[in-house]
Chain A
Amino acid sequence: MTYRSSGVYHQTYAASHAWWQTNFVRAKMALLVLFVATLPLYANLYVISVANIVLYTMLSALGVQLLTGYCGQITLGHAAFIAVGAYVTAMGVLFWGLPYPLAALLGCLLAGLWSVVFGLPSARIKGFYQIMTTMAAQFITVDFIITHYVSRVGGREHYFSLPPGTITIGGWPVDSEVKVYYLAAVLTFVCFAALANLLRTKVGRAWIAIRDNDIAAEAMGVNVVAYKLLAFFAAGVLAGVAGAVWIPSLYFVSPEHFQLSWSVWIVGVILIGGVGSLHGVAFGAIFVTVILELLKLAVIPLAEFYPALTERFLYLKEAAFGLAIVLFLLYEPRGLAYRWQQLKNYFNLWPYAY
């Protein structure tokens, strides 16, 4: 249960389940919204572009968190569904003349359905074998279907270019980093809010029951297969949102953006952030992105003395990421979100220890 200060009490269940119960929390959230909304006013373009990567990482990892962290279905093919979202949205805008929001909606829906297809085996298998089937989604979707067939649609070779101005929302062109930032921020907020609430419903509780023990959940009357597929669908839709947000920021779409490495990367994000926590998604995304940027900043001056560093940066990045995961699994296995919780407890319980 969340910590409440003295004098906070409720006369209805609705009030006692409200997200933001005290003025302190409301002020905190208002400050966060204010910070996100005004960031472009004082931050330079570089910071905004990093923020965009953070938001995209959050949106990408959100679906993984749902599947792995809340429903217990380990996935290593999530980038495939992000790709479906991105490609369907792009094709909708480029070839079918759909307005961007409608195309994005279609992208989310198809990504969700496509995810259900690869969720089907989960009715029979779990654990290690399931990881293999989700990896199959990665290879079949991105390396086979998209690379060999979809990319050739329209004769643009391996990528679809989306020149600035192609993507508009009701006449408002999304053609700059700042605009992408706002689009991503709004969608991230909506997705977080939606998932947070979904997890408190009957559906969310069913997922958590399946994660904790699928046999017990079934014994209690949870339709395990239906809820697993629903989890795959919801995760796919969230991936679709990530894909739709991704395309305006790069002006083109390419299969290279949705490789297995990205699927692994976002699993790493939730491992570092904390499995089974929405805070974890945010903390993990911020942590890995910012660490990576700091690493880059460190490499640039060093490159003068060791030019090889620039060439090998790509490997350095992967190595740092791997090291981070190893260290987290060793010393902080419950992720940053747990540490955050502990920190809050420390001050909430002050000056006691319990």
Chain B
Amino acid sequence: MNTPHAAESRPITPDLTLPKLLLETAQRYGDGKVAMREKEFGIWRPITWRRYRDEVRHLAVGFAALGLRAGDKVALIGHNRPELLWAEMAALAVGGVVVWLYQDALLDEVQYVVDHSDARFLIGEGQQEVDKGLAVKARCPKLERIIWDDPKGLRGYDDPALMSLAEVRRLGQEADAEDPGAFARTVARGRGDDVALLFYTSGTTAKPKGALLTHTNMLKMGQNLMAVDPCGERDDFVSFLPFSWIGEQMMSVSCGLQAGFTLNFPEDPETVQHDIREIGPQVLFSPPRIYEQMVRTVQVKVLDAPALKRRVYGWARKVGDEVAERAFAKKPIPGGLRLKYRLADLLVFRKLRDHLGLARIRHAYSGGAALGPDHLRFFHGIGVNLKQIYGQTEIAGISVVHRDGDVKFDTSGLPIPETEIRISAEGEILSRSPCVFKGYYKMPEETARTLNDGWLHSGDIGFLDGEGHLVVFDRRKDVMTLADGSRFSPQFIETRLKFSPYIKDAWVIGHQRNAVTAVVCIDAGVVGKWAEEHHIPYTSYPELSQKGEVRALVAQAVGHVNQGLPAAARIQRFVNLHKEFDADDEELTRTRKLRRAFLEERYRDVVAGLYSGSGDIELDTTVTYEDGRVSHSKTTLSAVDAPGA
């Protein structure tokens, strides 16, 4: 594996800010190196460091001309585009604080964040974002301007608050020509402990809280991560996850500026998988669902392959899993197995990595939620160096990561430099580092509860194993206890269930009850195709999910998972839900974590049905559509006794 040629590490001085680092990096590379590429009309259009700097410069001066001052909040919403990243850096250059919103956030969420953060400017990608902005403007008195980038569909809009990003740029160019030194002076005023980002954490329980992160927090985080796994200036990184996720900010902004690698923006959200494959990044940092999706893709495509290919794949996977298991256990790999692995790599894994776009991957990280052991074994088996990361927004992203060659599937690894991890008397994970945030915006009690003497209280339960690896259970509230006192981790069971290509989501229940049960969302695409091949007619997702054959198919997968579980934690009964979990229905957070309390409330009847022992569950449900419409329907679900319980 090639080690990257790292740019000389820049010490993080107290007065260094992200915009200052941008100026330094742009100075170093000028037009000689590509800072970012955007795929448009089939080719990756390059943007050099110098152009990046100049765009930021013009926008920053433009924002200042519009009255943006240090400490003002700027809300941003949209897909990953260079223009929005420029706008972010420009706002930071003026000393502003950037608040990112999820592109698919509903009106209420947008309104809450814009209002709570006191944002003066809202910068959106196009018409959809402008519409959201206009809709919430009346209820957000501090919002002054809505700035858009893509003019498509905006011709008839004449609200005085609207302005195009091109107009801001023009203003900036004029002001910059009048006073060319202004930009440098503004940037120089920034300090490391100025707040840079205001992150609204996707609360699985309560209203979102806004975490304040400083420039130093962000810079230190990138530096310390890259002290473990250096990134090189010639690396490619694909920026496809929402900027409102801390992990994406960490890679695209902090690591990107420090290492000087190239960001690549996909053409369209639908083409992400294809675009990743085309770029073949060296580094990838995603939540588990991306990896789960990759595994599902492989499994499904192999199921459709002819017998010879399937058999070769099956053999290679067995060899790969064995090697991965031995590597996890740090056991030596005998020569015969090594030879077999070479062959398997040549025959299958090399090609598989190429299909997945992981051909050139050096480090792949999974963070934000737990990744199942089966998934981790799969990736190590096919030769992808996938590592778990543990951290939270409040510590600027990450605090613990696996080291190369020291990956264990039940741990998250060792703390990164300058980071201390401690377990409190109650078993809660506490961490301390230069990356710990300043506090929650306008929530002093919450801040006091979370920050104690520089220690960040995570709310997660865990322990350090013999080698100092951090083992994270679940959120404290999510480690469950059955009525008879035996404990189990629902997330662990859920991730194992999701290794089946037929299961897209799973929700495991059992807290304070006498048995473990599960609610399963089948994968519409995969199960639908399976049904077609087996000549099972169906018209809709609800109907498909309740077909006897489909229930048997899922039962088989559940039974398989049960085999690997301790007797008390085995799933006794399960039911296929009539719909997929959806963030728009508040069943999931925007980062696709289950909101258990809400689910428990919403699917009270289903839970009751699972524990009542009756076969059929009558259900009266409401569905919220993306435009806010609500509809009611009646459904009957069939509960199934799980095999192997």
A12 touches B304 (CB 8 A): no
Q: Which residues on A sit within 8 Å (CB–CB) of B42? A: 13, 16
Mark interface residues in B61-102 (1 if CB within 8 Å of A CB, else 0).
000000000000000000000000000000000000000000
B299 to chain A: closest CB distance in Å?
A: 11
A6 touches B43 (CB 8 A): no
* A348 nearest in chain B by CB position: B351
B163 within 8 A of partner (CB):
no
Mark interface residues in A332-354 (1 if CB within 8 Å of B CB, else 0).
00000000000000000011111
A351 touches B43 (CB 8 A): no
A347 to chain B: closest CB distance in Å?
A: 8
Q: Which residues on A sit within 8 Å (CB–CB) of B309? A: 350-353
A353 touches B301 (CB 8 A): yes
B312 within 8 A of partner (CB):
yes
A352 touches B302 (CB 8 A): yes
Known contacts A11-B44, A350-B351, A352-B301; A4 and B278 CB within 8 A of each other: yes
Q: Which residues on B sit within 8 Å (CB–CB) of A350? A: 309, 348, 351
B623 to chain A: closest CB distance in Å?
A: 34
A353 touches B304 (CB 8 A): yes
A5 within 8 A of partner (CB):
yes
| Cα distance, A33 to B302, chains bound together (Å) | 38
Which residue, B301, B310, B348, B356, has most C-beta atoms of chain A within 10 A? B301
Known contacts A351-B302, A351-B309; A7 and B279 CB within 8 A of each other: yes
A194 within 8 A of partner (CB):
no
Q: Which residues on B sit within 8 Å (CB–CB) of A6? A: 277-278, 280, 353-360
A354 touches B313 (CB 8 A): no
Q: Which residues on B sit within 8 Å (CB–CB) of A10? A: 43-44
A289 to chain B: closest CB distance in Å?
A: 33
B568 within 8 A of partner (CB):
no
User: How many residues on chain B are close to A (CB under 8 Å)?
Assistant: 31
B45 touches A7 (CB 8 A): no
A16 to chain B: closest CB distance in Å?
A: 6
| Cα distance, A254 to B283, chains bound together (Å) | 68
Q: Which residues on A sit within 8 Å (CB–CB) of B353? A: 6
A13 touches B43 (CB 8 A): yes
A305 within 8 A of partner (CB):
no
* A346 nearest in chain B by CB position: B309
A8 within 8 A of partner (CB):
yes
Q: Which residues on B sit within 8 Å (CB–CB) of A16? A: 42-43
Which residue, A10, A16, A353, has most C-beta atoms of chain B within 10 A? A353
Known contacts A6-B360, A354-B301; A11 and B280 CB within 8 A of each other: no
A96 within 8 A of partner (CB):
no
A8 touches B351 (CB 8 A): no
Within 253-304 of B, Cβ neighbours of A (below 8 Å) are at: 277-280, 301-302, 304
Known contacts A16-B43, A350-B351; A11 and B304 CB within 8 A of each other: no
A128 within 8 A of partner (CB):
no
| Cα distance, A15 to B37, chains bound together (Å) | 15
* B309 nearest in chain A by CB position: A351
Mark interface residues in B40-63 (1 if CB within 8 Å of A CB, else 0).
001111100000000000000000
Q: Which residues on B sit within 8 Å (CB–CB) of A354? A: 301, 304
A346 to chain B: closest CB distance in Å?
A: 9
Which residue, A15, A16, A352, has most C-beta atoms of chain B within 10 A? A352
Within 1-53 of A, Cβ neighbours of B (below 8 Å) are at: 4-13, 15-16
B302 touches A9 (CB 8 A): no
Q: Which residues on A sit within 8 Å (CB–CB) of B360? A: 6-7
A351 touches B278 (CB 8 A): no
| Cα distance, A10 to B563, chains bound together (Å) | 49
Mark interface residues in A275-291 (1 if CB within 8 Å of B CB, else 0).
00000000000000000
B44 touches A353 (CB 8 A): no
B45 touches A11 (CB 8 A): yes
B306 within 8 A of partner (CB):
yes
Q: Which residues on B sit within 8 Å (CB–CB) of A352? A: 301-302, 304-305, 309, 355
* Of B279, B280, B313, the contact of A351 (CB 8 Å cutoff): B313
Chain B contact residues, CB within 8 Å of chain A = 34, 37, 42-46, 277-280, 301-302, 304-306, 309-310, 312-313, 348, 351-360
Known: A6-B353, A16-B43, A353-B306. 11 other contacts (CB 8 A): A4-B278, A6-B354, A6-B356, A8-B280, A9-B280, A11-B43, A350-B309, A351-B302, A351-B312, A351-B348, A353-B305
A-B contact pairs, 21 of them (CB 8 A): A6-B278, A6-B358, A6-B360, A7-B278, A7-B280, A9-B278, A9-B279, A11-B34, A11-B44, A11-B45, A12-B43, A350-B309, A350-B348, A351-B305, A351-B310, A351-B348, A351-B352, A352-B302, A352-B305, A352-B309, A353-B305
